[in-house]
């Protein structure tokens, strides 16, 4: 989830990637371009991050014209939550 209290308006966006040890992108999120807090990241080529459970990872945040306020990694969201 990404909290962005500034809102991602006028070309602003936030995305996250997970670089592999060799520097390539192992996973990449779809960019968040809407206003709101506690927004769930959707991943481009995978449903979730279960492949990395129990493993250390690095997260690379990329944002344009916005500020990152906070982030949180949580377990699987209930299916009733909007995607």
Enumerate the domain spans of the chain. Answer: 2-66
- Residue 70's H or E segment, with its range, is strand 70-71
Entry pTM: 0.70
Of 20, 5, 13, 12, the closest CA to residue 41 belongs to 13
Residue 70 forms beta bridges with which residues? 3
Residue-wise pLDDT for 4-26, tens only, equals 555 545 678 889 999 998 989 99
Per-residue pLDDT of 52-67, as tens digits, reads: 888 999 999 998 877 7
């Amino acid at each position: 989830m990404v909290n962005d209290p500034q809102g991602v308006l006028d070309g602003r966006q936030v995305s996250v990637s997970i670089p592999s040890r060799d520097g390539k992108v192992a996973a990449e999120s779809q960019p968040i371009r809407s206003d709101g807090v506690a927004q769930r990241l959707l991943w481009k080529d995978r449903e979730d991050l279960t492949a990395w459970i129990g493993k250390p990872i690095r997260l690379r945040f990329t944002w344009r014209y916005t500020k990152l306020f906070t982030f949180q990694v949580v377990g699987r969201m209930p299916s009733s939550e909007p995607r």
